[in-house]
Every structure is written in C-alpha cells, then in structure tokens.
Amino acid sequence: MNELQERILKEGQVLGNGILKVDSFVNHQVDPNLMDACGREFAKRFAHVGATKILTAEISGIAPALTTAIHLRLPVVYARKTKPITMPDQVYLTLAPSHTKGRMVELIVSPEYLANNEKVLIIDDFLASGQTILGLVRLAETAGSKVVGIGTLIEKVFEGGRDVLKSVGVPIESIACIKSLDNNTITFVD
Amino acid sequence: MNELQERILKEGQVLGNGILKVDSFVNHQVDPNLMDACGREFAKRFAHVGATKILTAEISGIAPALTTAIHLRLPVVYARKTKPITMPDQVYLTLAPSHTKGRMVELIVSPEYLANNEKVLIIDDFLASGQTILGLVRLAETAGSKVVGIGTLIEKVFEGGRDVLKSVGVPIESIACIKSLDNNTITFVD
C-alpha cells in the first residue's frame, strides 16, 4: 500500500452517491509533501512517454499537475472553467459533465499555450467517469497535439472511466485505484 | 533583478486598465521551475514568522502557495469561490471585489481546515487593491487564527494594496514590485 492509499484510508470520507471526500489532503487543504511524492511517482511512471507539456483542469488538478511538472521540468497548462479577460477571443472550448457539480462545465484553453505537435501528458486528481479527461483529450487533439499519457491520483474503478479512455490508446496510471465504496467502506484494487 | 522580474519583462503583456497578463508562466500556463524558485524565496523570507498553515485563494494562488508549502513543509488551504458538495453546511464565507471579474466573489473556507490558533501565512499571485487578501485575513481571523505574513508574487504598487493591508500589522513581501504600467511599459520599484 502506498502513501496516498494509506492517507485515503485514514482521512477519506465516503459521502454516498459514489463521492469520496479527500478535502483534508487533496481538494481544499493540500498536503504538499504527499502531493510532491505523487508528482515524483507520476514523473517516474511517465518518464518514457516523451511529454513536452502537462495539461490539467482547474481547480483540483493544479496541485498534482504542478508537482509532476516540477519533477519532469515541463510547463503545465490548466484549462480554465471561465474565460478570464486576459484570454484572447478565439479559444479552444469543450464541454464536459461534472458529477460533483451536477451540470456541464466548460473547459477552455488558449491557443497561445496549446499548440501544434505538443506531446501532452494529462494529470488530474480523479478518474471517475472519464468525461473531464476526455474533454482535455479533445482540447489537445483540436490543437493538433497528441496525448501521450493520462495520470490521476485516485481512480474510482467502478465508474468505468478507464474503458471510456481506452480509445485514446495511451498509458493510464492511477496512484490509488478504488474498487468499491459500498457500505461506506473504501476497498482498493488488489 | 530577480528571475520573476526578468520573466515579467520578457513575457508580461500590459493590457491597459492596469491589467498585466502573465498567462504564459503564472495564470494559465505555469512555469514549474520559476514557481518552485518563488516558493523557495517565500520560504526564506517567512522562515522567521512561525507559520503553521498557508492560506490562498483559488485559482491562481494555488501554484505559488503550493511551492511555498513544499519548502516550508506546511499544509496549504485554498479558499473556494463556490461551495463544493463535499463541504459542510456551516462554513466561513466572505465577499471580496474582483478587479478582473468586475464583480464580488465569495471566498469560502471549511472550519475543518482553518481552526483556532493557527498562525496563517497568506500567499497569492497578485497584490493589487488588496481586497482579496483582506478577505483571506477576515476568514483567518473569524476562525480564531492569526495572520503572521503576506506574500505575493507580483505587487502592483500603484493600486495601493499595501496601505490597505498595513492595519494587519504583519510583514508583506512581494517578489516583483511594479511601480507603473503607464505607456504600456513595465517599470519596477528600484
């Protein structure tokens, strides 16, 4: 069992409806040492894919993407959910359903920072239904770039996101794979 | 001239209305090595204040707050602008005007992660009018904690935020202090 799994068992809270609360170390309060260890682990697992840029989605993807970027020494771009006034009028925009928000959210990237022929490593906090990550894949491909890997801190295997992403044809790595949250019990994949 | 100042001169864009676009290394794309260097610098400047927790505001504060947290080995909490479903019903909430959004935004922290008697170091990307940081100060003080320092990557001195924050009575440190953006020219404080 790795450090992230241990922390999930110790502090994760099952809220029902498939929601796992990890606000004390990932989503509201962040443990920087744990996040740095996860970034180092992603850097190791994706060392061979030749990424030139890391892509994530605000807000909760920023921390693991940044620590991965530090260890791989690559720039990281976070897709915005609202268009700031500093962004040009012409952007890449896609929609993805948000499970925790119960509605569609926009994912927006400026063409200034996602160009042709980048090799994009996608890093996010959760892999659940896979829809947010699929949105990031669409953004990267629309920009003429190629996704070369997908890494998430926590995969909720029972939501089937890995199957949804299979068509992308790249390595998918999760640091903690959760098989079930049934009966308020967190069970990891063996 | 430090590394951040050099980068601002090289890539910063003056958009008018006092807005400086640094989306290529701070606000949309992040340079992880630069951000790590800034975190190390904050850790050095605030080593003496005895902070027990770092507080920032999503979204753009997360990167510098996280790298500072890595170097100080402290947990970091980011105030949310919308209340996620994982947050309890009873929260600390304050309002602050957002210059770039042109409206009031909410800053929300769960009492679970901002408790009595914390010594709080506030880190953010910009110090402009000081209103967002003043909102973070109110959140910390409402929680019964004490702010012990304020650090920002870029201070727009001409917006007067430092005077607004003087009453907090703590050290305020900025890595790049901009005196003027007049005539589309970035001028640093000597």
Q: What is the pLDDT of residues B44-89, one digit of tens each?
A: 999 999 999 999 999 999 999 999 999 999 999 999 999 998 999 9
Q: Give per-residue pLDDT as tens, A158-187.
A: 999 999 999 999 999 999 999 999 999 999
Which of A15, A70, A85 is facing B32, going by the closest CB pair? A70
User: What is the distance in angstroms between the Cα of B190 and the nearest Cα belonging to chain A?
Assistant: 27
d(CA A18, CA B79): 24
Chain A residues within 8 A of B15 when measuring between CB atoms = 85-86
pLDDT, averaged across chain B: 96
CB neighbour list of residue A91: distance below 8 Å, 6 or more residues apart:
A83, A108, A109, A110, A111
Token pair for B165 = 């924050």
* pLDDT value at A119 more than 80: yes
**Closest residue on chain A to B66 (Cα):** A32
Burial class of residue B166, CB neighbours in 10 A (0-12, 13-18, 19+): exposed
Q: B23, A86: Cβ pair inside 8 Å?
A: yes
- β-partners of residue B61 are none
Q: Is A66 in contact with B30 (Cβ distance < 8 A)?
A: yes
In A, minimum Cα distance to B55 occurs at A29
Task: Say how far apart CA B130 and CA B148 lie, in whole Å.
Answer: 16
Give me the residue from A15, A19, A66 closest to B66, CB to CB: A66
Q: How far is A144 from chain B (nearest CA, A)?
A: 18
The pLDDT of residue A43 is 98
B58 vs A contacts (CB less than 8 Å): 58-59
Q: Which of B7, B19, B30 to mutate to test the interface with A (most CBs of A within 10 A)?
A: B30
Chain A residues touching residue B78 (CB < 8 angstroms): 28, 30, 59
The average pLDDT across B4-20 equals: 95
**What integer pLDDT is reported at residue A101 of this predicted model?**
75
- Rounded CA gap, A64 and A44, in Å? 14
What ipTM is given for this predicted complex? 0.96
Task: State the pLDDT at residue A116.
Answer: 87
CB atoms A29 and B77 under 8 Å: yes
Q: What is the pLDDT of residues A130-153, one digit of tens each?
A: 999 999 999 999 999 999 999 999
Partner residue facing A86 (CB), from B19, B75, B110: B19
Indicate which of B28, B59, B60, B103 best probes the interface with A, i.e. most A CBs within 10 Å of its own CB: B28
CA angle A140, A27, B104 (to 5 degrees): 85
Is the pLDDT assigned to residue A3 strictly greater than 90? Answer: yes
Sequence-separated (6 or more) residues with CB below 8 Å from residue B109: A28, B55, B77, B79, B80, B91, B92, B139, B143
> Are residues A28 and B78, on separate chains, in Cβ contact within 8 Å?
yes
Three-class secondary structure of residue B124 per DSSP: strand
- Band the pLDDT of A190: cuts 50, 70, 90: confident
- Find how far residue A158's CA is from the centre of its chain: 17
